[in-house]
A and B are shown apart, each in its own frame.
Chain A
Amino acid sequence: MTRRLGIGIIALTVVSAVVGPWVVPHDPQVQWLAHRLEGPSWPHPLGLDELGRDILARLLVGARISLFVGLSVVSVSASVGILIGSFAGYVGGRTDNVIGRLMDVLLAFPGILLAIALVAVLGPSLTNVVLALVSIGWVGYARLVRGQVLKIRELEYVQAARALGAPVSRVLWRHVIPATLPSVTVQATIGMAGAIIAEASLSFLGLGVQPPTPSWGTMLDAGRAHLFDAPHLTLFPGLAIALLVLGFNFVGDALRDQIDPRTN
Chain B
Amino acid sequence: MIRFTIRRLLLTVPVLLGVATLVFSLLHLVPGDPALAMLGESASASDVEELRERLGLERPLPAQYVQFVTGLVQGDLGTSFRYGTPVAQEIGQRLPRTLELAAAAMVVAVCLAIPLGVLGALFRGQAIDQAAMTVSLIGISMPNFWLGPLLAIVFAVMLGWLPVSGTGTWRHLVLPAVTLGTALSAVLARMTRASLIEELRELYVLAAQARGLSKRRAILGHALRNSLIPVVTILGLQFGAVLTGTIITETIFAWPGVGRLLIQAINFRDYPLVQGCILFIASIYVMVNLLVDLAYGWLDPRIRYE
Interface residue A160 (Cβ < 8 Å from any Cβ of B): no
Which of A101, A110, A217, A239 has the largest count of B CB atoms less than 10 A from its CB?
A: A110
The docked-state distance in angstroms from the alpha carbon of A114 to that of B138 is: 26
A190: nearest residue on chain B (CB-CB)? B140
Q: Which of A2, A201, A234 contacts B134 (CB 8 A)?
A: A2
Interface residue A11 (Cβ < 8 Å from any Cβ of B): no
Interface residue A122 (Cβ < 8 Å from any Cβ of B): yes
The docked-state distance in angstroms from the alpha carbon of A249 to that of B143 is: 13
The docked-state distance in angstroms from the alpha carbon of A229 to that of B159 is: 15
Interface residue A259 (Cβ < 8 Å from any Cβ of B): no
Contact A206–B282 (Cβ < 8 Å): no
Query: Which of A20-28, A54-62, A240-248 lies at the binding interface?
Result: A240-248
A247: nearest residue on chain B (CB-CB)? B141
How far does the Cβ of B291 sit from chain A's closest Cβ, in whole Å? Answer: 14
How far does the Cβ of B178 sit from chain A's closest Cβ, in whole Å? Answer: 16
Contact B150–A238 (Cβ < 8 Å): yes
Within 8 A of A (CB), among B14-39: 14-16, 18-19, 21-23, 26-27, 29-31
Query: Which of A43-51, A177-185, A219-227 lies at the binding interface?
Result: A219-227
A119: nearest residue on chain B (CB-CB)? B266
Q: Which of B140, B241, B247 contacts A205 (CB 8 A)?
A: B247
In the complex where A112-B244, A123-B31, A206-B267 touch, is A117 in contact with B23 (Cβ < 8 A)?
Answer: yes
The docked-state distance in angstroms from the alpha carbon of A234 to that of B252 is: 12
Instruction: Provide the residues of chain B in CB contact with A197, threshold 8 Å.
Output: 143
Instruction: Provide the residues of chain A in CB contact with B282, threshold 8 Å.
Output: 108-110, 113
Within 8 A of A (CB), among B243-277: 243-245, 247-248, 251-252, 262-263, 266-267, 271, 274
The docked-state distance in angstroms from the alpha carbon of A234 to that of B143 is: 12
The docked-state distance in angstroms from the alpha carbon of A239 to that of B150 is: 10
Instruction: Provide the residues of chain B in CB contact with A201, threshold 8 Å.
Output: 143, 145, 248
Q: Which of A2, A110, A117, A193 contacts B243 (CB 8 A)?
A: A110
Contact A263–B194 (Cβ < 8 Å): yes
Within 8 A of B (CB), among A100-154: 101-102, 104-105, 108-114, 116-118, 120-123
The docked-state distance in angstroms from the alpha carbon of A250 to that of B141 is: 10
Contact B18–A108 (Cβ < 8 Å): yes
The docked-state distance in angstroms from the alpha carbon of A118 to that of B146 is: 24
The docked-state distance in angstroms from the alpha carbon of A174 to that of B173 is: 55
How far does the Cβ of A131 sit from chain B's closest Cβ, in whole Å? Answer: 11
Q: List chain B positions with a Cβ less than 8 A from chain A.
A: 14-16, 18-19, 21-23, 26-27, 29-31, 134, 137-138, 140-143, 145-146, 149-150, 152-153, 157, 164, 194, 240-241, 243-245, 247-248, 251-252, 262-263, 266-267, 271, 274, 278, 281-282, 285-286, 289
What are 16 inter-chain pairs, A to B, with CB distance below 8 A?
A: A2-B137, A108-B19, A108-B285, A108-B286, A121-B27, A121-B30, A121-B271, A200-B143, A200-B145, A220-B149, A228-B157, A234-B150, A234-B153, A238-B149, A242-B143, A242-B146
